[in-house]
Amino acid sequence: MKFRLHRYNPETDAKPFMQDVELDIDPAGKMLLDALLAIKAQDETLSLRRSCREGVCGSDAVNVNGKNRLACITPLPELKEPIEVRPLPGLPVIRDLIVDMEPFYKQYRSIKPWLVNDAPEPEVERLQSPADRALLDGAYECILCACCTTSCPSFWWNPDTFVGPAGLLQAYRFIADSRDEATAARLDNLEDPYRLYRCRGIMSCVEACPKGLNPTAAIGRIKSLLVKRRV
Amino acid sequence: MKSTTGSHTGTGTWLVQRATALVLAVALPGLMIHFLAALPVDFSGWQALFLPLWVRVMLLLTMTALALHAWVGMRDIFMDYVHSTGARLAMYLTVIVILAGSVAWLAVIVFGGTQGSAA
């Protein structure tokens, strides 16, 4: 199979370049990550992140033939050759397919991704009704792989001020949580032309999410809460 | 530099864009039908199309909605691509002058020019 891989070693290369690689592999039943690891076995200088190899850890997000996906759950037979693999767009490249995730994590931290509840701690646990728990479906499953945020043009132009789809989905996850008491402060934190309203609803994030989540819908719900609070 | 975001603004602008989009979705086809149905017309027929008060009010309302809608859109584009505050402010002001000027100009044309058409 033919591959085109983004290569960049800041210690030896002046500029990143695309490397053509031939790999003798039977694609049946294999994922892209298997191929990348087989290439790495031939050329150990190829650098990439991976861990769980089953779409749970979110560390092997790459841009494959123009689309952000997890290499470990992308079936090899369905990819058009040459398979072009690049690092996630919009983040600084450290080496080959590895990007600096700090701008992404910084926005994630900015929404305070933890439960805020000042009520005295109950003896056992803070209970939720099944209906309240159901509000978190579609929001808690995010694995922070950054596929969505790095496919969002608004994040490309304003990575320092726009929270991005992943961060906003997580913001909604805590706003919707019946056990969280900081809803007003969370909405205050987001009500900003840059932090929230850079989202223009083009749904690139929905298209990219390997877990099938819908950040645009969550952003819409945050907007309706802000509107309700205002009118 | 420390982040200075969280300004408690943006919801109003977003609402304005949504509301004006609704106005335009209804008013633009309505006006279009009113004018296209009358075609072809000579100059006096064309002027007669603008004589009913509702047409003139609709026209000015639509133009105002269009200007507000365009303002939010242009502001969004400048926020994305023009990162120097001074340049952005200058472009905001230019757009405001052009849009507000256009609305005022239309108001003069449809309401100020009635004596001319009567003559």
DSSP A41-87: HH-TT-----SSSSSSS---EEEETTEEEEGGGSBGGGSPSSEEEEP
Q: Is B3 a member of any domain?
A: no
Of A41, A71, A99, the domain-final residue: A99
State whether A133 and A85 are in the same domain. no
Q: Is B83 a member of any domain?
A: yes
Q: Specify the pLDDT at position A24.
A: 93
| Angle A217-A218-A220 from CA coordinates, rounded to 5° | 65
Give dist(CA A222, CA A224) in Å, integer: 5
Of A99, A131, A166, the domain-final residue: A99
State whether A6 and A94 are in the same domain. yes
Tell me: the pLDDT tens digits for B9-26? 889 999 999 999 999 999
Tell me: the pLDDT tens digits for B26-40? 999 988 898 888 877
Tell me: the pLDDT tens digits for A118-140? 999 899 999 999 999 999 999 99
Q: Is B74 a member of any domain?
A: yes
Minimum distance, in Å, between the CA of residue A78 and any CA atom of chain B:
36
Strands A98-99 and A93-95 turn out to be: antiparallel
Number of H helices, E strands in chain A: 8, 7
CB–CB of A193 and B9 under 8 A?
A: yes
CB–CB of B9 and A192 under 8 A?
A: yes
pTM: predicted TM-score of the whole model, two decimal places: 0.88
Count Cα neighbours of A137 within 13 Å in the Cβ-side half-sphere: 6
Number of domains in chain A: 2
Positive or negative torsion for Cα A125, A127, A133, A136: negative
Tell me: the pLDDT tens digits for B37-63? 887 778 888 888 888 888 899 999 999
**Residue among B11, B15, B80 minimizing CB distance to A191:** B11
Q: What are phi and psi of A50, to 5 degrees?
A: -160, 155
Tell me: the pLDDT tens digits for A58-109? 999 999 999 999 999 999 999 999 999 999 999 999 999 999 999 999 999 9
DSSP state, A31? B
Give dist(CA A93, CA A100) in Å, integer: 6
Q: Which residue range is the domain that position A50 belongs to?
A: 2-99
Q: Which residue range is the domain that position B72 belongs to?
A: 12-114
Q: Which two tokens stand for residue A158?
A: 């304003």
User: Binning pLDDT at 50, 70 and 90, where does residue B119 land?
Assistant: very low
CB–CB of A193 and B10 under 8 A?
A: yes
pLDDT at B118 over 60: no
Residues 6 or more apart whose Cβ sits within 8 Å of residue B12: A230
Residues 6 or more apart whose Cβ sits within 8 Å of residue B63: B102, B103, B106
Give dist(CA A145, CA A55) in Å, integer: 9
